[in-house]
């Protein structure tokens, strides 16, 4: 092994992958340029830190399970007037996560509930928060299967460690009593520990019917709305108003 191979090997052992792959580039630049020893070291460590941060972000985004990407910046508040730019900017600061506040977006289909939630979740992930996004049916599926499937167990473990649990489409599928109980256990377990963000097409008065049990619905809502911002999104479906067709 020559000196360079030994250096690459040591970089590899220390998991300094940028140094390992670009060692010649760093050396040549230092030999040709006029950088000081301090600048040389600074450049290598900075590249390594940036690479690590990028890998960590990619990992957080993958583990968040977003179904697609939405930028919070692309949300048009002139179309959806139930929320304004000032409120969105406050939400973008993510203090609601630090203070373990919940967010609930209510409204009919197409008014931008999922867009807002995914956009905020994506931004939170960029800022270093651990987010987990699940539809209500996925949540119930993973809870039911956590003892007999590795994937479900892994997702539920992540759920208990995340900073924000995002549950999309609460109310679209009917729930059994068992499903409603599982939902209660999650809301109760995360209460004042983790932020929960929910989208639903059902307003609170319809949650008893959804959860098939008045006492349970009250107990769930009681915990969810204790420290919570509720957004009632109104208006027409953005999808229907901005329909894209094949034939012009
Ligand atoms: P919901 O979850 O309320 O059914 P979505 O958030 O999925 O609705 O929105 C449906 C589609 O319309 C998405 O592609 C979304 O990006 C877009 N959309 C909805 N509202 C807005 C808005 N105010 N500005 C920009 N795009 C929007
Ligand atoms: Mg939606």
Q: Walk along the chain (248 residues) and give the pLDDT tens digit of each residue.
A: 799 999 999 999 999 999 999 999 999 999 998 889 999 999 999 999 999 999 999 999 999 999 999 999 999 999 999 999 999 999 999 999 999 999 999 999 999 999 999 999 999 999 999 999 999 999 999 999 999 999 999 999 999 999 999 999 999 999 999 999 999 999 999 998 999 999 999 999 999 999 999 999 999 999 999 999 999 999 889 988 888 888 76
111 lines ligand 1 (CB under 6 A): yes
Give the per-residue pLDDT at 92.
98
CA angle 157, 161, 167 (to 5 degrees): 80
110 lines ligand 1 (CB under 6 A): yes
Give the per-residue pLDDT at 182.
97
Give the per-residue pLDDT at 247.
77
CB 112 within 8 A of CB 231: no
CB 197 within 8 A of CB 117: yes
Q: Who surrounds ion ligand 2 at CB < 5 A?
A: 114
C-alpha 168 – ligand 2 centre gap (Å): 6
Give the per-residue pLDDT at 96.
98
67 lines ligand 1 (CB under 6 A): no
Helical H runs in 1-105?
3-13, 17-32, 37-64, 85-92, 95-98
- Closest atom of ligand 1 to 107 CA is 3
186 lines ligand 1 (CB under 6 A): no
- Closest atom of ligand 1 to 74 CA is 25
Query: Measuring CA to CA, which residue among 89, 84, 79, 138 is closest to residue 112?
Result: 79
Give the per-residue pLDDT at 248.
62
Ligand nearest to the CA of 115: 1
171 lines ligand 1 (CB under 6 A): no
């Amino acid at each position: 092994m020559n000196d360079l191979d030994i250096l690459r090997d040591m970089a590899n052992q220390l998991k300094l992958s940028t140094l390992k792959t670009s060692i010649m580039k760093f050396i040549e630049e230092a030999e040709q340029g006029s950088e000081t020893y301090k600048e040389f070291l600074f450049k290598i460590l900075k590249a390594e830190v940036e690479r690590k941060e990028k890998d960590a972000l990619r990992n957080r985004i993958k583990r968040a399970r977003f179904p697609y990407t939405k930028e919070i910046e692309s949300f048009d508040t002139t179309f959806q007037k139930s929320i304004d730019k000032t409120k969105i900017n406050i939400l973008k600061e993510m203090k609601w996560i630090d203070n373990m506040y919940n967010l609930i977006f209510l409204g009919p289909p197409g008014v931008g509930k999922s867009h807002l939630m995914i956009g905020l979740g994506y931004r939170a992930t960029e800022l270093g928060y651990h987010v987990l996004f699940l539809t209500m049916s996925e949540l119930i599926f993973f809870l039911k299967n956590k003892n007999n499937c590795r994937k479900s167990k892994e997702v539920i473990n992540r759920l208990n460690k995340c900073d924000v649990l995002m549950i999309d489409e609460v109310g679209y599928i009917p729930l059994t009593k068992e499903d409603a109980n599982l939902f209660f256990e999650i809301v109760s377990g995360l209460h004042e520990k983790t932020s929960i963000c929910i989208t639903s097409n059902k307003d609170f008065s319809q949650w008893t019917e959804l959860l098939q049990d008045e006492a349970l619905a009250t107990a769930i809502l009681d915990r969810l709305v204790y420290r919570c911002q509720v957004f009632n999104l109104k208006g027409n479906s953005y999808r229907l108003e901005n329909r894209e067709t094949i034939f012009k």
